[in-house]
Amino acid sequence: MLGLTARYPQALIMHGLSGKTALITGGSKGLGLAIAQTLASYGVNIALLVRSDRESAEQAVDLLRGQGVKAGFWLADMTVRAEVTAAIQDINQVLGGIQLLVNNAGANAHAPLLSLTDEQWQRVVNANLNGTFVVTTEVVKRMSRGGVVINIAGASAHRCYPNAGAYGPAKAAIVNLTQQMALEWAPLGIRVCGVSPGPVRPADSDWQQQEPELAAEVARLPLKRAGTPEEIAQTVCFLASSAASYITGQMLVVDGGGISSWYMTQ
Ligand SMILES: NC(=O)c1ccc[n+]([C@@H]2O[C@H](COP(=O)([O-])OP(=O)(O)OC[C@H]3O[C@@H](n4cnc5c(N)ncnc54)[C@H](OP(=O)(O)O)[C@@H]3O)[C@@H](O)[C@H]2O)c1
């Protein structure tokens, strides 16, 4: 019995991802790990940039190597340029040049504007916006033969939600930053796109018991369920692949239809 890729070689050829090296921020757990594993399934070598959680990073690297690709993790706070520079220089030595960057790491504060402390505001803006700026500029300086950058924003970037006082504005800024990067770096052969997920939870978890308020909101989505990390990861792979070679400066909203109709659906 022939393997899937032997029977359908165009599946891998179309993606054009095999053998590339990707850097994923915050890629040791959650959505970032699903993105790393899905890219690895297309033959992409993976560098994870993690802040402090060495244990989950080690487990993630074991999983990725088990998929047959090269993988490693590097510790850095993505908002501190010196740490990011050192990590990227080392990744270039160990895994070769980075051709794909996924800015996945982020932070949230769950508060309305009048309750937000300055510390919360700065932490959320720092992690989402400044981190994306610092990591991307350091990676792009070293992308000698073009590449792709994918920024993870969120549905909150495109419409306002209660308690998203800092998160919404920080994610909305990523939309404009994505367009600015796309414009400035198109001559370098670099495409820059973004993915804006709606609520994402693992399909096999009982998150509805832990988060009844979110479950009630999700029930009002046109598709009436949360997205899975794998669904977001496949969208990232599409945008990173040669199937999306004429797309740059665009955000793909992956939210079960929420931003266009949330409040109209019963
Ligand atoms: N899950 C959802 O429903 C959803 C919906 C819309 C958008 N998103 C976006 O998707 C992305 C991933 O979501 P998630 O739920 O998987 O997130 P998560 O579990 O909260 O993970 C976020 C990651 O970012 C890392 N991080 C935060 N600040 C950092 C810094 N300064 N330097 C390096 N790493 C840093 C965290 O590392 P530490 O563990 O060390 O803090 C963590 O690994 C985020 O950008 C999020 O805003 C998620």
Per the prediction, the chain carries an average pLDDT of 94
Pocket of ligand 1, candidates 31, 38, 132, 221: which has the most ligand atoms within 8 Å of its Cβ, to mutate? Answer: 31
Judge whether 100 lies within some domain.
yes
- Which residues, including other chains, have CB under 8 Å from residue 258's CB and lie 6 or more apart? 155, 198, 221, 222
pLDDT at 261: 81
Q: Is residue 213 assigned to a domain?
A: yes
Mean pLDDT (whole number) for 126-153: 97
Joined tokens for residue 70: 């090269």
Domain membership flag for residue 37: yes
Residue 261 lies in a domain: no
CA dihedral (142, 144, 148, 150) in degrees, to 10, reads 10
Neighbour order of strands in the sheet with 100-103: 71-75, 45-50, 21-25, 100-103, 147-152, 190-197, 251-254
The answer to whether the CB of 200 is under 6 A from ligand 1 is yes
CATH number where 169 lies: 3.40.50.720
Q: How confident is the model at residue 260 (pLDDT cuts 50, 70, 90)?
A: confident
| Predicted confidence (pLDDT) per residue in 35-73, tens digit | 999 999 999 999 999 999 999 999 999 999 999 999 999
Looking at the structure of the chain, the number of domains it has is 1
Residue with tokens 């921020």: 25
Ligand 1 pocket, residue 211 CB under 6 Å: no
Catalytic residue list: 167
Contact 100, 44 (CB under 8 A): yes
On whether residue 56 sits in a domain, the answer given is: yes
Q: Is 27 in the pocket of ligand 1 (CB under 6 A)?
A: no
Nearest-atom index, ligand 1, CA of 77: 32
* Size of the chain, expressed as the number of residues it contains: 266
pLDDT of 1 over the 50 cut: no
Contacts by 229-234 with C-beta closer than 8 Å and gap 24+? 229/30, 229/31, 229/33, 229/34, 229/35, 229/200, 229/202, 230/34, 230/38, 231/200, 232/31, 232/34, 232/35, 232/152, 232/195, 232/197, 232/200, 233/31, 233/34, 233/35, 233/37, 233/38, 233/39, 234/38
> 257 in a domain, yes or no?
no
Which residue range is the domain that position 65 belongs to?
A: 4-251
Q: Does any domain span residue 256?
A: no
Q: Is residue 199 part of a domain?
A: yes
| Strand duo 71-75 + 45-50: pairing | parallel
Per-residue pLDDT, averaged over 228-247, amounts to 97
The ligand 1 atom at the shortest distance from the C-alpha of residue 78 is 32
